[in-house]
Amino acid sequence: MKKIIVLGAGMVGRAIAIDLCKEFEVTSADIDKQNLSLLKNFPIKTVRCDLSASEKIKSLVKKFDLVIGAVPGFMGFKTLQTVIRARKNVVDISFFAEDPFKLDALAKKMNVTAIIDCGVCPGLSNIILGYHNKQMQIDSYECMVGGLPSKKEWPYKYKAFFSPSDVIEEYTRPARIVENGKMIIKEAMSDPELIEFDEVGTLEAFNTDGLRSLLTTMKIPNMIEKTLRYPGHIELMKIFRETGFFSHDEIEFSGKKIKPIELTSKLLFPFWQPDEDEDEFTLMTIKIAEKKTDQKKIIEYVLLDRSDKKTKTSSMARTTGYTCTAAARLILEGKFSRKGICPPEFIGEEDGCFDKIISLLEERKIRLILKNENS
């Protein structure tokens, strides 16, 4: 039986470990004892370990056939680098800020397949684009995505269903989009617009830096990614950002130096903590338009997934985690073996991989609806 280690036992990391333990020998590693205790009812080995220590990771992953990286973004690049140096194939969902292609030469030298950004968006969205980009000449790509609680509670109308620190990164990191073949950098949370969605109602879409690897791998003239929230949430986040609450620069207070982001996180995150039985959903829409002057083909996908109340698994954990486990299965079954840094669009380009990913997600009741395909 193949052996897998999941680095990180947060909300998504746990969902990944639980899904994979049905077919593989799985170990979960985390420094948080409470996180690991939530896996006690499953056939999963647990290891309490400081995953910020490279030497410990290198020693930890030695006996495994595949590594899953599910640590917070600020730890992601260093962790991935360590795993590659250990010559282990890896699927990563840490969504770190650094350029992953800086590790491409190392991964090829070590003969490692390293799939990065393999969640729902980036992740599944990239797989879809990679699949269609191989079949048609695309003029434009638009993706809108958000994970939200079904109940809108004051004051934030939001709960964080993945690392809260990574959520704040979305609100501060400049957004890179492509217009008329040129990359444009815009302020995070810029260009807000209200959009009505079936079954969900009115949401606010705004620019975030979600294109990531697509900026390098896809030669498409127009590309944009927007995040979705309930109206009102982003205005609050803009106030926090503009008044310095998200700053990493130290300030002096009562004779001590503190980072505003650390204080903000301490006060903010308890409000964003989902309840154990929190009902939430993930919504993602994708529009792909063909590059033609007449009879332009437009393809539109919609994904609307809700939390699994029976297993108490959030939708964000399901859609992110199960895309990751589907990719992991492709590696372990020898269906994807490209070496180097492999963003998810490379999976979409590989013959048979798109259909396999969609099939594995459908088995877990995550349905991607082809809403529109017309000319």
pLDDT in tens, 94-113: 999 899 999 999 999 999 99
- pTM: predicted TM-score of the whole model, two decimal places: 0.94
Q: Which fold has domain 125-306?
A: Dihydrodipicolinate Reductase; domain 2 (3.30.360)
User: Within the chain, which residue ranges are assigned CATH 3.30.360.10?
Assistant: 125-306
**Domain 3-121+315-366, CATH:** 3.40.50.720
Q: DSSP 3-state assignment of 282?
A: strand
Distance CA 93, CA 102 (A): 17
pLDDT at 375 over 60: no
The Cα 290–Cα 91 span in angstroms is 31
Considering the chain, tell me which residue range(s) the CATH 3.40.50.720 domain(s) occupy: 3-121+315-366
Q: Check residue 167 and give its pLDDT.
A: 86
Q: How confident is the model at residue 162 (pLDDT cuts 50, 70, 90)?
A: low
pLDDT at 372 over 70: no
Q: Pick the closest to residue 10 from 32, 42, 27, 26 (CA basis).
A: 32
Distance, C-alpha 285 to centroid of its chain: 15
Indicate the pLDDT class of residue 374, thresholds 50, 70 and 90: low
pLDDT at 164: 75
